[in-house]
Chain A
């Protein structure tokens, strides 16, 4: 176990709805990254938060947004859901993005199904 938790485990939504996914980082970690993993594919980087500020974004539209809180927990929000948003959403925490030897530890993910 990595100490990174995500909720909920599974979620079913309909097209056009909004969803919020949550991540609790490993204790002492101030950096969190979110990834989308479509079925049968590798994870794709969505964005990263460091000390409550967005620190880089992948090729995802603005309807994907996030927050990081003072306790370093994090949220991923997706508006106007599309069928292609169906995927496993992973968060990964790092002790500190400025530490060159640090590793990302992944949570178990939230499985989102959009109908």
Chain B
């Protein structure tokens, strides 16, 4: 019940294109869904996060869409840039339990110039 499944494992997108990464979860107690970006040799850095009472959240070129009934959420990267090339992780946590995060397996994104 603690799994978070992420797809695809990798994707290649042209500069200016849209990158879409999907995640699905099982535990309905999750109430916090962050996305992290990780560059080689670095720790994950928070990109954007959403609570289940909101269906969409946008910050700059990054948008999270959330479907509570389907237990799915996704990250859209608009106008992808070569600097966006990184590994992206979705995660889920329970705020009242101290927000210990369960991570997806990651998606390696390559943006071609």
Which A residues are closer than 8 A to B by beta carbons? 2, 4, 31, 33, 35, 40-45, 48, 50, 55-56, 58, 90, 92, 94, 97, 100, 102-109
Verify if B13 is at the interface (C-beta below 8 Å from A).
Answer: no
| Identity of the chain A residue whose Cβ is nearest the Cβ of B31 in the assembled complex | A100
The 10 closest A-B CB pairs, nearest first, are A42-B103, A106-B43, A97-B98, A100-B95, A45-B100, A106-B44, A108-B43, A43-B103, A42-B105, A42-B106
Q: List 28 A-B contacts (CB under 8 A).
A: A4-B43, A31-B98, A33-B100, A40-B106, A41-B105, A41-B106, A42-B6, A42-B106, A43-B89, A43-B103, A45-B101, A48-B100, A55-B98, A56-B98, A90-B44, A92-B43, A94-B98, A100-B95, A103-B34, A103-B46, A103-B49, A104-B46, A104-B99, A105-B46, A106-B44, A106-B45, A107-B43, A108-B42
Within 8 A of A (CB), among B22-65: 34, 36, 41-46, 49
